[in-house]
Structure 1
Amino acid sequence: MFKSISKVGFGAVILMMLNGCLGMPKGVEPVTGFELNRYLGTWYEIARLDHSFEDGLSQVSAEYSINEDDSVKVINRGFSDQDQQWSEALGKAKFVDGSDEGYLKVSFFGPFYGSYVVFELDKENYQYAFVSGPDLDYLWLLSRTKKVDQEVIERFVSTAQSLGFKTNELIFVEQK
């Protein structure tokens, strides 16, 4: 069973994450040569900086597809071990500048948008992505698979640390 997006929790607090902020942390640059059609589909959260909207969630994933208005449909899901149920948030994303740049704005509630910055991407196979939000408090390692090579994790941590993210606070997400 899924919790409704209208309930306080995973979906409702995503607004707090986005906080209506665009922009990106100093030093973070969105990838260029971004191809949305290759990015669509399911991504698994491997690591994150934790926030109340994801507190206690495992098996977190994001599903990206195209809406009828050409925006990107975003469905975030995670399993709450405490509640023994899935939480889900439905949103949409749009490119901030051009569609060939990994810089999007994401909204889970009406007109409020926040940054979604893909700053590293396996451009050959689109198998992993490093993503930030509008500031150093938001960071994710996403993968097409539920596990990634240790080399990717080490590069993620090293890159994030060099940009000023608090990598000692990373949560490594349980995926089943």
Structure 2
Amino acid sequence: MKQSTVLKILGGVTVAAIGGAFAYSRATRPPMINAKVPEPAKPVEIERYLGKWYELARHENRFEKGLDAVTAEYATGPGGKIQITNGGSQGGPKGERSFVEGKAIIVDDETNAKLKVSFFGPFYTGDYWVLDHADDYSWSIVGEPGGRYLWVLAREAHPANAEAIMKRVEELGYDRWALRVTRHA
């Protein structure tokens, strides 16, 4: 077989593989739950945002499918990056726990409310917008501009003001009933 024929075949396979990966990623994205994602409501003081958060609810997605007792820990990393450790339990709050590590960079220096996050190396980054947070950083609502992902976080697994936080989710234009409540022990 001629080299040019082999290259054409390989090129076609590569295009098909990339096209297939793109189609898979598009097909596995959650449906849009907010067509008009708001800009972040207020600036974020990164030092106050760091630390441990408990996920109260989320729009279910393929990379967290079935997880409970979900936590996210943010810490200062090298080069001004933010180190992220997410954990969750499969099969209920007391199930086997797994962790994934990632990093984030701030992309909006004016507010610190927009970040790019990567858990899978440099090939995939996602938008992470702190849409709103309590003045005392006791809760946070995180989304992205496509309106497909949303996380509701708090410093406690069972905050007394959970209903008020969920009302804020609705005020931001999200269907709170489309969210999966995260169970904690």
User: Normalized against structure 2, the TM-score is what?
Assistant: 0.73
In the TM superposition, residue 35 of structure 1 has moved relative to its aligned partner by: 0.4
2:148 counterpart SS class: coil
**Correspondence for 1:4:** none
**Correspondence for 2:46:** 36
- AA matched with 2:90: S
Matches within 5 A, 1:56-71: 56-71=66-81
Q: Which runs of 5+ in 2 are unaligned?
A: 1-24
Q: Which runs of 5+ in 1 are unaligned?
A: 1-15
Greater shift, 34-43 or 80-89, is seen at 80-89
Mapped pair 1:95 → 2:110: no
**Correspondence for 2:96:** 85
Task: Quote the RMSD (CA, aligned, Å).
Answer: 2.4
Mapped pair 1:143 → 2:154: yes
- AA matched with 2:167: R
Q: Is the 8 A contact 1:31 1:101 kept in 2?
A: no
Mapped pair 1:159 → 2:171: yes
Q: Is the 8 A contact 2:141 2:169 kept in 1?
A: no
In the TM superposition, residue 133 of structure 1 has moved relative to its aligned partner by: 2.3
Larger radius of gyration: 2
In the TM superposition, residue 80 of structure 1 has moved relative to its aligned partner by: 0.6
More helix by share: 2
In the TM superposition, residue 25 of structure 1 has moved relative to its aligned partner by: 6.0
In the TM superposition, residue 169 of structure 1 has moved relative to its aligned partner by: 1.8
**Correspondence for 1:173:** 182
More strand by share: 1
**Correspondence for 1:120:** 132
C-alpha offsets along residues 95-147 of structure 1, whole Å, 9 cap, x if unaligned? 11216331111011222211101111112x10000110242210111000011
1:28 counterpart SS class: coil
Indicate how the Cα distance of structure 1 residues 32 and 168 shifts in structure 2: closer, same or farther if over 3 A, else same. Answer: closer
- AA matched with 1:66: T
Identity %: 34
1:156 counterpart SS class: helix
Q: Is the 8 A contact 1:91 1:107 kept in 2?
A: yes
- AA matched with 1:169: A
- AA matched with 1:36: I
**Correspondence for 2:141:** 130
Matches within 5 A, 1:43-62: 43-62=53-72
- AA matched with 2:57: A
User: Normalized against structure 1, the TM-score is what?
Assistant: 0.77
In the TM superposition, residue 168 of structure 1 has moved relative to its aligned partner by: 2.4
